[in-house]
Amino acid sequence: MSGSGWQPEPGWRRLHGAGPATVGIWSATEAGRTVVVKRLAAPEPHDPAAHLELADVNHWRRAAEVALSGVVSASPGLRQAPVVRVEEDAEGVTLVHELVPRVEQPGLWLAACLGRFAGADLGHHPWLARGQLRTRLGLVARRGGWRAMARTPAADVAEHLWTRRHGWLDRCDALPQVPQHGDAAPANVPGRHGTDAVAIDWAHLGTGPVGADLGYLSLATREELGPLVDAYVDALPPGLASRTDVLTGARVSAVYTALTRLDWALARVADGDGALAGKFRHPSVAPYIRAMQRQADQIEALLA
């Protein structure tokens, strides 16, 4: 994807961030206020066809559709930053949001916000993402699966979970399907508005198994999954799902995401000098190993 005709304005400050079709993200000052500018580039002929499919996880203009629709401008539990404007041209879309001041967000409070968001009404928009974990694991499968994990002491565990992924995905498909942010890491939920959390990066907004967002969140919180599940369940609308439902959705999301991330990190260093085992403490690998270790109880539960 490209955006050769469009260029950021002088003085804009580049920010970290990525996503489907994202050319870049910048902070800027307009009329005395700080805003965040995100540029999305329209697909070109050589780009994956999935970027054009409305319900695909990586649909290129979903963030723009979310902003234009206002579907999460005041949703319960989790809402987007106020939209300043959306500008479209032949090469893509420019999104401008108000900057969200970052505040400390306790994990249990975020879990409760996600529980309330699970009861939101997103309507029936064709561009809402579906089958997110299944799609992501499908991409891994096309690359040969968790090949780097096969060279580690956890190879048997990884093989067991990988070969049984379809069964767990089917279990998740049978759970209540609820709104999900799709990338609910704490870094993407920087602010708050009253009793609601304010989230950024809505490029994966859609529906999915109850608890899936929570499992994703748990990979980067201090709290263990059990207390997070309790906070999420307490905030769910009555009768929407059971604690067992939530735990299953969260557990599958957390374990398969943690192992996929670890395999990706290992694959990046695997071809360098020395044995793979000697690279487990590499700065680009060690955090993913610790994240997997934190999932030991959840991995054991899936193995059982």
DSSP 76-110: SSEEEPPEEEEEEETTEEEEEEE--------HHHH
Q: How far is CA 229 from the centre of its chain?
A: 18
According to DSSP, the β-strands at 33-41 and 22-30 are antiparallel
Q: What is the mean pLDDT of each run of 10 residues along the chain (304 residues)?
A: 73 84 92 94 81 88 96 98 95 95 95 98 96 95 94 93 98 98 95 96 96 97 97 97 98 98 91 69 88 95 95
Say what the pLDDT of residue 274 is: 60
Phi, psi of 2 (to 5 degrees): -145, 175
Q: Are the beta carbons of 103 and 190 closer than 8 angstroms?
A: yes
Say what the pLDDT of residue 294 is: 94
| CA dihedral angle for residue 62, residue 63, residue 67, residue 73, rounded to 10 degrees | 100
Structure tokens at 131: 């089958």
Say what the pLDDT of residue 163 is: 97
Q: How far apart are CA 167 and CA 178, in angstroms?
A: 20
Say what the pLDDT of residue 2 is: 44
| For the chain, domain boundaries | 13-98, 107-303
CATH number (1.10.10.410, 3.40.50.720, 3.40.50.2000, 3.30.200.20) of 13-98 reads 3.30.200.20
SS3 219: coil
Say what the pLDDT of residue 77 is: 98
Query: 107-303 — its CATH code?
Result: 3.90.1200.10
Structure tokens at 226: 């059990």
